[in-house]
Amino acid sequence: MVEISASLLTMNEENAVRNLYNLETAKIDYFHIDVMDGKFVEKNTEDVMKEYALTISHISNLGLDIHLMVEDVKHFLDEYLILEPQIITFHIESMKNDEQRTQNIIKEIKQSGSKVGIAISPDTSIEEIKKYLKYIHLILVMTVVPGKGGQELIPETLEKVENLKKYIDENNIDIDIEVDGGINDKTSKEAKLAGANILVVGNYLISSDNKYDAVKLLKE
């Protein structure tokens, strides 16, 4: 069964609470929080995402799926782990090939009780993360260049999902594959076929009037 993680990046702040309510009652599985530091990517969403995450942790029982698009991962772990997110994902690119640092981050997230995810941007090969697969719970394959919502999915990224799925099946690794960027009613089908089991959906859900039907369609 595929799960849906709703990205709030393109949500209008004024309608936030109503939108959060509509998403939750539409039976999404997680709220996806896109934390951007203005360094790893151009945009800075630190304040607004902190506010959303806090609000959600107060009013909802759904899990937080935190996506850190930041350079200083450790700093943001200190901020977000206290909210007890279900999943917390950092980018392999921000680790700058430092294996010890990567293992320390994995360990810290695990010790706090959250699931650990590692994200890879479109230009990063799955070879870069193979050595970490047995220590983590989830791989987030970026299907757009990280930085903004509402972009079109890059088709080649789904080949990466396919290869990853093949690799984890062959090696008996139990791990979730999450895709993020440009997922809609059409690309969701392709992503699922490629092997993804968690779909991050932003613009398509935020802009749909009937979120319940939209989630149902995405899960089919």
- Chain residues in the site for ligand DX5 (CB under 6 A): 7, 9-10, 32, 34, 67, 144, 146-147, 149-151, 180-183, 200-204
Q: Which is nearer to Zn ion, 91 or 165 (CB)?
A: 91
Residue 121 interacts, among Zn ion, ligand DX5, none and using kind-specific CB cut-offs from 5 to 8 Å, with none
Query: What percent of the residues of the chain are helix, what percent strand, and what percent coil, each to the nearest 5?
Result: 45, 20, 35
- Please name the residue ranges forming H helices in the chain: 16-25, 46-59, 73-80, 99-112, 156-170, 187-194, 203-206, 211-219
Contact set for Zn ion, span 50-109 (CB under 5 A): 67
Q: Which is nearer to ligand DX5, 113 or 155 (CB)?
A: 155
The residue at minimum Cβ distance from Zn ion is 67
Q: Are 153 and 180 in contact (CB under 8 A)?
A: no
Measured from the CB of residue 119, what is the shortest distance to ligand DX5 in angstroms?
8
Known catalytic residues are 34, 180
Contact set for Zn ion, span 150-189 (CB under 5 A): 180
34 binds Zn ion (CB under 5 A): yes
User: What is the spatial distance between Cα 217 and Cα 58, in angstroms, rounded to a whole number?
Assistant: 29
Q: Which is nearer to ligand DX5, 99 or 220 (CB)?
A: 220
CA geometry: angle 203, 209, 210, nearest 5 deg: 105
Q: Are 64 and 85 in contact (CB under 8 A)?
A: yes
Measured from the CB of residue 180, what is the shortest distance to ligand DX5 in angstroms?
5
Q: Are 136 and 117 in contact (CB under 8 A)?
A: yes
* Binding residues for Zn ion (CB under 5 A): 34, 67, 180
